[in-house]
Structure 1
Amino acid sequence: MIHSKQIHSEGFSIINNVFTENEIENLISLIENATQKDSDNATFRKSQDLFAIRQFHKEVPETLAFIFNENLNEIIESNFGKGYFITKSIYFDKPEKSNWFVAYHQDLTISVDRKIEVENFENWTLKQNQFAVQPPTEILEDNFTIRIHIDKTTKDNGALKVINNSHSKGIIRIENLDFENEKETICEVDKGGIMIMKPLLFHASNKTTNNERRRVIHIEFSKQQLPNGLEWSEKTIFQN
């Protein structure tokens, strides 16, 4: 399952049939148990249009045994190599009648354990006792994200849309993209499939129009050592 050429050239790749029906059902069961037990948890965000669990791999660690199955481990190693670790994870549940949408953007920040002055680390924020910062571009260029699809995701229930190859342009403002000459792809993914994407790829999602739920586990990876004692706040080694 080598998709590295497409990931490099287009900034993303879709791979279906990574998880079995049984593995997906186990993930759903573990997530539902966690949310019922701890619904007041500060890392849980709930609204009419979206339910999210931040630091998902720490809040529901039992899921890791199902997430890092033989298929996913082989995909990571064959496309990126060894030495990567989890730096961030979020579970998104977009309900059937959700009006939630996300405008085009790049993923420019990482989660770190403290705020210290480090050259070329900028645009610091603090939300719910979690520091985020924009690191140097070369760190973002080496990182990647895997989105695990718990439900079949189509253009009608908020599948991501992306601007092909936009990750190759570095960090740029959206208004500097020439949309008339850019290729846009709607990334439809089957239940049990994944989407791999680079952080600098411009991506967005629309409102749900078909009354179908969309649940996704979003996991970010890096192998970069941060400078000056700065550390990834959610760093977790997985077995591959």
Structure 2
Amino acid sequence: MDITGHRYNIAHDGFTVIDDIYTSVEVNAIINAIESADKTGPLFRQTDDVFAIRQFLKAVPHVSPLLFNERLKSVISNIFGDGYFVVKSIYFDKPGSSNWFVAWHQDLTISVDRKIDIAGYGPWTVKYNQFGVQPPLDILQDNFTIRIHLDDTDEGNGALKVLPGSHLKEIYRPENIDWQQETEVNCNVQAGGVMIMRPLLIHASNRTTNNRKRRVVHIEFSTVELAAGIDWAEKI
């Protein structure tokens, strides 16, 4: 594995794709663990366009040892170093018939355990009884996200499309995107592979057009202790 190349991609482009983190047997074990979970709780959301599990590692705790195999732990340690911990996890199952799409955006909010007035933190949101807040920029610049793909994913079933290097432009509003300067790239990922990205990377995904599922586990990591009075809502 070209660790130096992946480090460069993340620093320069804001993302990288690494294949073969999981075997087909491991992928099936992860899927079976998810399908065996009790889906009646408040962390599970089902619509015609998407099935999602919020606080995924809390809702389906027996999946953690399957996800954090030696290959994934080695990738995290070798690319980012030690000291990172999980701060958010979501599972998305986008059916083959889905019309769900996501517009261009950066991931600017983090999930925290309470809402209090703290300098540098804001604006605040509340979604599904979960407090979200935009933290100081340096926290977003340090964090990273791993997207674990359980299906082959390309532009036909909603693979992320990104603007390489946009993570270096701090807060970059979609309405201010300079399309004369930016180049859209599709991040195709094979089942068992991962995409790693910085939260400030501008990204989006299209509607599904090929009638194939797209199942992804989204896990966010940080090394940062938040300001006194609040903590990460899902810290593991």
Q: Which TM bucket (shorter chain)?
A: over 0.9
Q: CA shift at 1:30, angstroms?
A: 0.5
What's 1:168 paired with? 168
Aligned counterparts of 2:105 and 2:89: Cα–Cα separation in 1: 18
1:29 to 29, 32, 39: 32
What's 1:197 paired with? 197
Aligned counterparts of 1:87 and 1:155: Cα–Cα separation in 2: 28
Aligned counterparts of 2:208 and 2:186: Cα–Cα separation in 1: 14
**Does 2:92 match 1:92?**
yes
What's 2:146 paired with? 146
Trace 1:76-225 onto structure 2 (pairs within 5 A).
Answer: 76-225=76-225
Q: CA shift at 1:130, angstroms?
A: 1.1
Q: Secondary structure at the match of 1:181?
A: coil
Aligned counterparts of 1:7 and 1:127: Cα–Cα separation in 2: 29
Query: Percent of pairs identical after alignment?
Result: 56
Aligned counterparts of 2:39 and 2:21: Cα–Cα separation in 1: 30
Contact persistence 2:101–2:205 (CA under 8 A): yes
Contact persistence 2:141–2:198 (CA under 8 A): yes
Q: CA shift at 1:79, angstroms?
A: 0.6
Amino acid at match of 1:226: L
Aligned counterparts of 2:73 and 2:191: Cα–Cα separation in 1: 18
Write out per-residue CA displacement over residues 72-118 of structure 1, whole angstroms, 9 at most, x where no aligned residue: 01100111000000000000000011000000000000000111111
Moved more, 126-135 or 5-14: 126-135
Q: Secondary structure at the match of 1:116?
A: coil
Aligned counterparts of 1:23 and 1:39: Cα–Cα separation in 2: 22
Q: Which runs of 5+ in 2 are unaligned?
A: none
Amino acid at match of 1:24: V
Aligned counterparts of 2:61 and 2:21: Cα–Cα separation in 1: 20
Q: CA shift at 1:39, angstroms?
A: 2.6
Contact persistence 2:88–2:219 (CA under 8 A): yes
Aligned counterparts of 1:145 and 1:123: Cα–Cα separation in 2: 22
What's 1:4 paired with? 7
Aligned counterparts of 1:17 and 1:43: Cα–Cα separation in 2: 29
Contact persistence 2:17–2:196 (CA under 8 A): yes
Q: CA shift at 1:40, angstroms?
A: 2.4
TM-score normalised by the chain length of structure 2: 0.97
Q: CA shift at 1:125, angstroms?
A: 1.2
Trace 1:221-236 onto structure 2 (pairs within 5 A).
Answer: 221-236=221-236
RMSD value over aligned CA atoms? Answer: 0.8
Aligned counterparts of 1:19 and 1:156: Cα–Cα separation in 2: 23
TM-score normalised by the chain length of structure 1: 0.95
